[in-house]
């Protein structure tokens, strides 16, 4: 039996065919899942075009995670395509350029607030919006960049990721009694649109492959996508509040 046979998944964050979420959606379909995508605003048409490049074309429902109307309408919009969800992928991140790039001390609250709203609080917002469709055994999986450390140039996005990781633990606490698992994948640097929008991203990706015992390919989202798929499967039935590192092993090294 395929890993995700019979499951219906909501996958956010497909912007291009380089998006981590695109590869999650592709692998999920290859592993037997039905996939519904989300997108918003001017990106909607782009996501619809990219959705046609998946093994099976996937419907796209509108969701700006910071928009209360979209969140309130999400369950009904998904119900136009499926009567339940077995998993939700949060693959969303955004911070204004002013709060990344190595000028941490100049970060202003309005821009920091945007980063935290879109990149951290949104995990709770998405979980609550999807909850009416989730049943026991389902899983929510998000993507983080190891927030235990201060990285070059990541700055307030790193602070938002720390809030994101904490949000995942509180969600694991509060959704566990309903049988919903909440886990994160902490990925190494991958050259996506979001990554390339970080001023000086090269300084983060530069030494990664040298430091990784397994090596690391910044152009390959497949290992990350595979781990997301595995966490959505029935093979992590008692795991929640966890962060699985998919970084070639960098997180475990002293230098
Ligand atoms: N690329 C990396 O190096 C890397 C490493 C670790 C973790 N991550 C995380 O992976 C996730 C996916 O990013 P990616 O690298 O695939 O880049 P990406 O640019 O392809 O995806 C980011 C997505 O966030 C979506 N988004 C932004 N604001 C939104 C909003 N208000 N409502 C709904 N969606 C919104 C965008 O539409 C886009 O699809 C992010 O959480 C990112 O922080 C990326």
Q: Report yes or no on 253 lying in a domain.
A: no
| pLDDT reported for residue 221 | 98
Share of the chain above pLDDT 70, in %: 100
Geometric angle at alpha carbon 50, from 45 and 54, rounded to 5°: 140
DSSP for 186-249, written as a single string: EE-----HHHHTSTTTHHHHTTHHHH-TT---TT--HHHHHHHHHHHSTT-TT--S-EEEESTT
Share of the chain above pLDDT 90, in %: 95
Q: Report yes or no on 3 lying in a domain.
A: no
Q: Report yes or no on 211 lying in a domain.
A: yes
* Residue tagged 């077995």 (tokens): 86
**Pick from 234, 241, 225, 252: which is nearest to 87 by CA?**
234
Asked if the model's pLDDT at residue 255 lies above 80, the reply is no
From the list 7, 124, 149, 161, the catalytic residue is: 161
| pLDDT reported for residue 201 | 87
| pLDDT reported for residue 242 | 98
| pLDDT reported for residue 203 | 85
Per-residue pLDDT of 70-122, as tens digits, reads 999 999 999 999 999 999 999 999 999 999 999 999 999 999 999 999 999 99
**Residue ranges making up the domain that contains 185:** 8-248
Q: Which protein residue has the closest C-alpha to ligand 1 atom 33?
A: 64
Q: How far is 167 from 229, CA to CA, in rounded Å? A: 21
Query: Which is it for the CA torsion 237, 173, 14, 191, positive or negative?
Result: negative
| pLDDT reported for residue 207 | 86
Q: Report yes or no on 24 lying in a domain.
A: yes
Looking at the structure of the chain, the number of domains it has is: 1
Q: How far is 178 from 170, CA to CA, in rounded Å? A: 14
Q: Report yes or no on 1 lying in a domain.
A: no
Per-residue pLDDT of 31-74, as tens digits, reads 999 999 999 999 999 999 999 999 999 999 999 999 999 999 99
Give ligand 1 pocket residues (Cβ under 6 A).
12-16, 19-21, 40, 43, 63-66, 91-94, 118, 143-145, 187, 189-190, 192-195
Q: Report yes or no on 33 lying in a domain.
A: yes
**Pick from 173, 3, 19: which is nearest to 86 by CA?**
3
| pLDDT reported for residue 202 | 87
Active site residue 121: no
Q: Which two tokens stand for residue 62?
A: 């509108």
| pLDDT reported for residue 100 | 96
| pLDDT reported for residue 206 | 74
Q: Do 64 and 58 form a contact (C-beta atoms < 8 A)?
A: no
Q: Report yes or no on 254 lying in a domain.
A: no
Q: Which two tokens stand for residue 159?
A: 């602070």
| pLDDT reported for residue 205 | 83
CATH number at residue 219: 3.40.50.720
From the list 7, 121, 149, 154, the catalytic residue is: 154
Q: Report yes or no on 255 lying in a domain.
A: no
Asked if the model's pLDDT at residue 123 lies above 80, the reply is yes
Per-residue pLDDT of 137-154, as tens digits, reads 999 999 999 999 999 999
Active site residue 154: yes
Other CB atoms closer than 10 Å to residue 71's CB: what's the count?
Answer: 18
């Amino acid at each position: 039996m395929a890993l995700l046979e019979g499951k219906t998944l909501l996958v956010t964050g497909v912007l291009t065919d380089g998006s981590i979420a695109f590869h999650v959606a592709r692998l999920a379909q290859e592993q037997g899942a039905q996939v519904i995508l989300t997108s918003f605003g001017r990106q909607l048409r782009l996501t619809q075009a990219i959705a046609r490049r998946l093994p099976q074309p996937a419907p796209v429902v509108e969701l700006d995670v910071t928009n209360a109307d979209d969140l309130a309408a999400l369950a009904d919009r998904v119900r136009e395509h499926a009567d339940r969800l077995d998993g939700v992928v949060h693959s969303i991140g955004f911070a204004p350029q002013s709060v990344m790039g190595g000028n941490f001390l100049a970060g202003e609250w309005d821009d920091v607030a945007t980063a935290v709203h879109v990149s951290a609080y949104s995990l709770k917002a998405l979980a609550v919006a999807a909850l009416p469709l989730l049943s026991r055994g389902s899983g929510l999986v998000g993507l983080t960049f190891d927030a235990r450390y201060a990285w070059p140039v990541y700055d307030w996005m790193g602070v938002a990721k720390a809030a994101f990781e904490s949000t995942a633990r509180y969600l694991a606490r509060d959704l566990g009694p309903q049988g919903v698992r909440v886990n994160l994948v902490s990925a190494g640097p991958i050259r996506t649109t979001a990554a390339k929008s970080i001023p000086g991203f090269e300084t983060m990706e530069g030494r990664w492959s040298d430091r990784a015992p397994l090596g690391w390919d910044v152009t390959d989202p497949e290992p990350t996508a595979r781990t997301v798929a595995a966490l959505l499967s029935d093979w992590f039935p008692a795991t929640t509040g966890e962060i699985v590192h998919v970084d070639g092993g960098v997180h475990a090294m002293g230098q």
